[in-house]
Structure 1
Amino acid sequence: MEVQLIISFLTASLLLSVIPGPDNIFVLTESITKGKKNGIAISIGLALGVLVHTAAAATGLSIIIQKSAIAFSIIKYIGAAYLFYLAFMSLKEKKLELNLFGSPDQNKKDGFYLIKKGFLMNVLNPKVALFFIAFLPQFISKSGFNVTLQMFVLGLIFAIQAFVVFLFISILSGKLTKYVNNHKFWKITKWSKVGILSSLGLVLLFSKK
């Protein structure tokens, strides 16, 4: 794997993790309403869920990439179309109304329950699986080592950086509260998300393997 590809992947992954989405918004609200420990436990579960999607994408896509140029081209165009679709849906997104007032009895959940909650939230979301199928192939190098192993490495990198981002969100949740209901903040993040997803779609569309 080329260092340049890894840096590009890490940069894209960080941008996608930082921009508000279902996962980091959930971590933020859990941390604000029920405490930082809850947010951190949820973050661990979400990051572990990423590894499951990586395994699924790696075992299936690696065979396609290595065995059939035509099949990979089809996957590539479908993946690019899906990224454009996500960009379009982001364009239509409205400012989220977040519930910052959790009920006291919800604070009693233990760490394992919260980790499991974050894990299942990620693993059972088919949109995450589709995203990884669209996202990972554009950072695979045919001149590098085994394609399956490359995907596992990329998935591990994504999981680690996502956990670090979610961890910071949990720790800084109190200071981030002022941005939650800021209209300008949501407008900037919405257009940033549209730009990032559209760029990833274009890169995948014109990539050559």
Structure 2
Amino acid sequence: MIPLDVVLVFTGVAAVLAAVPGPDNIFVLTQSVMNGRIAGLIVTLGIALGLFVHTTAVAFGVAFIFQTSQYAFAGLKYAGAAYLIFLAWQAFTASKSKFDNDKENSKTAAKQFLRGFILCISNPKLTIFFLAFLPQFVVPENGPIILQFYQLGALMVCVTLTVFGLVAITAGSLGAWIKGSPTTQIWLNRISCIVFVSLAFKLATAEK
């Protein structure tokens, strides 16, 4: 079991890191503004659970492959960039009807979750970050190493749910105003498209 003092330090650092603007929380922000706080919270859940994939990669040494293999790193980052371009195209071609149809929105809950999950797991820099960050808080004397990694991963998930959830709720409060302004909806889609393209470019040009 990880000592309480280590848990507190890890949680504090993780909260600060989660609050730093990046592809994940920016995506939560845009989705919350466009589709409401529920959509933002669903995306947040997808991103948070995706962190367990990175935790597993670190716990079982898979992250080492991405750190040492340029081809593995490049393949994953280009896949992530391609997915962001796909999201940019969807935002660019979105129509006003997608905002008005609540039944349609309810059907896309799984899609919103999947978007957050894929965005999270397709970021190789996050895996490498976990490889550098998590081991600092793992001590053999505190119990099984793999179990400690998953405990830290679970803490990271809780912090992400809290910080990103606040972003989703705050940004989602703008949803009602946006639904009443078709022009704002269109411009927001265009801005989201630009944001996704920018994030794709940043990910595609990222170095280890």
Q: 1:1-209 alignment to 2 at 5 Å?
A: 1-60=2-61, 103-107=95-99, 108-109=104-105, 110-173=108-171
Does structure 2 retain, via aligned residues, the 8 Å contact 1:2–1:141?
Answer: no
Q: Residues 111-163 of structure 1: CA distance to partner in whole angstroms, max 9, x if unpaired?
A: 11110110011111111111111110101122101011000000011011101
What is the alpha-carbon distance in structure 2 between the residues aligned to residue 124 and residue 19 of structure 1? 19
Gaps of 5+ in 1: 65-74, 76-98, 177-209
Which one-letter code corresponds to 2:44 in the other structure?
S
C-alpha displacement at 1:175, in angstroms?
6.9
Q: Residues 41-61 of structure 1: CA distance to partner in whole angstroms, max 9, x if unpaired?
A: 110100010011101111228
Cα pair distance change 1:145/1:105, threshold 3 Å: farther
Report the count of equivalent residues.
140
SS at 2:61 equivalent: helix
Aligned-pair identity (%):
35
SS at 1:60 equivalent: coil
Gaps of 5+ in 2: 68-90, 175-208
Does structure 1 retain, via aligned residues, the 8 Å contact 2:58–2:131?
Answer: yes
Regions of 4+ moved over 6 Å: none
C-alpha displacement at 1:7, in angstroms?
0.9
Which one-letter code corresponds to 2:51 in the other structure?
V
Q: Residues 154-209 of structure 1: CA distance to partner in whole angstroms, max 9, x if unpaired?
A: 00110111011111111111579xxxxxxxxxxxxxxxxxxxxxxxxxxxxxxxxx
TM-score (norm 2): 0.61
CA-atom RMSD in angstroms:
2.4
